[in-house]
Chains A and B, each alone.
Chain A
């Protein structure tokens, strides 16, 4: 019995302390080092923030370069497929141009009418200052089962602050949760930690909660409210972060929300510098 206990303690100690050969560090010393780094990072001593930011910027750039081969093949396949479909595409686009020419007149009329109505209501036309919207490239889009986020190539240097809304084609995709000097992390709407106040078509208010899957869900809807299919969801702007009326998605049969922008297909996004927030995220 005592021999067995001795065996256990020898194997245990050996597993923790053994070095030699290729092992320059023992597991125990590395565990202590990892714990030290972890607590320094979590409790955020002042000097660690810039160091962490610098490390992030360097690693994100390397990740972007290292991922180049994985981006090349899907892009090449897409380009090849586009090349073979160019004739059909041309015919389709000509038809679409005709359609949009007709629609343009209507849009101009509605746009003028909208501006006039906003003047009457004395509300701010929130999209008028386009110079404060910056375009950013998605550096890293690593899919994780637990965290849905992307890294963009603009950071504090470009004026990005924590909390700023991120859009693509004017559709909301998420918000900035971490900024470095040259890069930022954007939390996507479908992340489990994402909560956004929204307005539904009929004026009902709710919270759009990320579920970790592709489709976020609506929470805190009015009592007895029944979700129907094809209801448009907009940011309500009640949090002071997102521009009110920014389109987000549309309700599906099951009651969750189909986002207008596929969070897995982002290459370029825009960050709205107008909406300044200093909230805690």
Chain B
């Protein structure tokens, strides 16, 4: 029983461990070597899905901390990724409070809204409060591919949820 509970805890912590690992390690979702513009923001897909489906396994404080780590590793001003992730949490929680049943299509649309708000805040803060400059084309491609890949990861995460965590509204 205790062993089962421990394994279940590990499975439940999987998404959070993945989020921390993506923020702190060299692993990235930037596939420019394969295709010049193919980059995606995997962290926000991960956060949005789990905040929407199982908020109890993706605590706000952990997401905030992962954002701070991401800022240090990437060289952004501290707190900016956390803010961007918190906007994703906010939209995700709002959608969860307002909806009873969700489908892949509705999640996809609301994810688009969350990503737009989050990126708008992220890049406007960077643009106004730091010396870093960005290519709008790259931001556009990044958003496009993040949105494009969302349903694929939605299915993978749903499968993970059903197989290892136990379904609730998957």
Contacts and interface: CB of A to CB of B under 8 A. Distances in A.
Interface of A: 7, 10-12, 14-16, 18, 21-27, 30-31, 33-42, 52, 55-56, 59-60, 62-63, 66-67, 70-71, 140-147, 149, 178, 185, 192-193, 211-214, 264
Interface in B61-84: 61, 64, 67-69, 72-80, 82-83
A37 B30 contact: no
Interface residues of B, number: 53
Contacts of B18: none
Given A34-B79, A34-B86, A25 B64 contact: yes
Contacts of A141: 26
Nearest to A37: B79
B93 A15 contact: yes
Interface in B9-27: 21, 24-27
Contacts of B69: 59
Contacts of B86: 27, 30-31, 34
Contact of A63 (B25, B57, B90): B25
Contacts of B24: 59, 62-63, 66
A22 B131 CA distance: 38
B101 to A, nearest CB: 16
Contacts of B76: 147
Contacts of A140: 26, 73
A144 B60 contact: no
Interface string B128-167: 0111111100110110000000000000000000000000
A177 to B, nearest CB: 8
Interface in B83-101: 83, 86, 89-91, 93-94, 97-98
Given A23-B59, A38-B80, A59 B26 contact: no
Interface of B: 21, 24-28, 30, 32-33, 36, 39, 55-61, 64, 67-69, 72-80, 82-83, 86, 89-91, 93-94, 97-98, 125, 129-135, 138-139, 141-142
B90 A16 contact: yes
A23 B133 contact: no
Contact of B132 (A10, A59, A193): A193
Contacts of B93: 14-15, 18, 27
A11 to B, nearest CB: 4
Contacts of A211: 135
B32 to A, nearest CB: 7
B159 to A, nearest CB: 23
Contacts of A212: 135, 138
A11 B110 CA distance: 15
A23 to B, nearest CB: 5
